[in-house]
A = this chain, B = another copy of it.
Amino acid sequence: MNASQVLRSKFERVLALTEEEREAIAALPLHVVEVKADEIILREGVPATRSSLLIEGLACSSKGLGNGRRQILAFHIPFDMPDLVSFLLEVRDCDILALTDCSLAYVEHRDLLALCTAQPRLALDLWRTTLVDAAVHREWTLNVGQREGLSRLAHVFCEMMTRMELIGRARDKSCALPLTQQELAEATGQSSVHVNRTLQELRRRELLSFVRGQLTIHDWDGLVALAEFRTE
């Protein structure tokens, strides 16, 4: 699937596109690049002039602190536009980082703006996706702020499994999720040592297994209950 098709099917998940809209999407200039694991895709603090569409791979948004601590704010999977949230803002407020080798397409903000002006329905749908992203942010704040270690981790797994299923990358509650324990720690605001022990507890309770980047959930209902995950 090429970049333009990815973008189109992203819209088509919600909208029935008109011929005109389809053409406008196809005409949007996309610049496809490959990024190696651990490279920064877009850096915090620089002017926000373009957004990216993730075609393949796993990425994250993160913000660092002076003492070297870092918080992962969201994971990004194919079909996501990781930094549409900085569209219309002057400056990026967080890093976008490739966690695995990624294939992605850049869209210049000025082209995106032109698309929005010409196709109001598409603009509204893009706006809506940024609002969904914001809702996920709120869930993460709740997660990190109020849940205990065990359910915090459980919640991340519930979210990722749900999203992977939505894009057809999961089967029988099992999917590839190539995250290290260190990365899970940065996403949940815990130390990696504690994540390790918490993972063992999740395994011991036979809720899931997470081995070499493969997540398999054995007891979905149990995990959902533990995480207080809300399926919408």
Contacts and interface: CB of A to CB of B under 8 A. Distances in A.
A151 to B, nearest CB: 9
Interface residues of A, number: 43
Interface majority SS (helix, strand, loop, mixed), chain A: helix
A110 interface: no
A128 to B, nearest CB: 4
Contacts of A71: 141-142, 145-146
Contacts of A189: 144-146
A85 B145 contact: no
Given A65-B147, A88-B128, A135-B93, A142 B228 contact: no
19 contacts: A63-B139, A70-B146, A71-B145, A73-B138, A85-B134, A87-B131, A88-B124, A89-B128, A94-B138, A117-B120, A120-B120, A123-B123, A133-B134, A137-B138, A140-B141, A141-B144, A144-B144, A144-B145, A146-B189
